[in-house]
Amino acid sequence: DTGVSQNPRHKITKRGQNVTFRCDPISEHNRLYWYRQTLGQGPEFLTYFQNEAQLEKSRLLSDRFSAERPKGSFSTLEIQRTEQGDSAMYLCASSPDRVGNEKLFFGSGTQLSVL
């Protein structure tokens, strides 16, 4: 068990550019979540997957955001035409079964800075 892995750890981009983050969940975990955390705030739910199916999306997830989880393994989160307001820590978490919340394992996050 190597934990939830997120890459890159840090990303600096210019406004208007596209960025993509990757999350590798713990093996065999069928649920995968994305959260966003801005400075001075707690994490906010963005979306989650049950295997390869994206089952829920927050209203925070604008049209510029898209998440995928092909084959129910790793997941990617893409932000198109980044804006300065997208600067945040993007956290990924996974859980092994339907009792999801009590066994939510978080990665260390990807820190995005949009200049």
Partner 1 sequence: AQSVTQPDIHITVSEGASLELRCNYSYGATPYLFWYVQSPGQGLQLLLKYFSGDTLVQGIKGFEAEFKRSQSSFNLRKPSVHWSDAAEYFCAVAPGEYGNKLVFGAGTILRVKS
Q: Where does this chain bind partner 1 (CB under 8 A)?
A: 3-4, 33, 40-45, 48, 55-56, 58, 91, 93, 98-102, 104-109
CB of 32 to partner 1, least distance (A): 11
3-state percent breakdown (helix, strand, coil) of the chain, nearest 5: 10, 50, 45
Point out which residues pair with 92 in neighbouring strands: 34
For residue 34, the minimal CB distance to partner 1 (Å) is 10
Would you say 14 or 102 has its CB closer to partner 1? 102
Between residues 82 and 95, which has the closer beta carbon with respect to partner 1? 95
What is the SS3 assignment for 101? helix
Question: Torsion angle, CA of 26/111/88/62, rounded to 10 degrees?
Answer: -60
Q: Supply the minimum distance, in Å, between the C-beta of residue 8 and partner 1.
A: 14
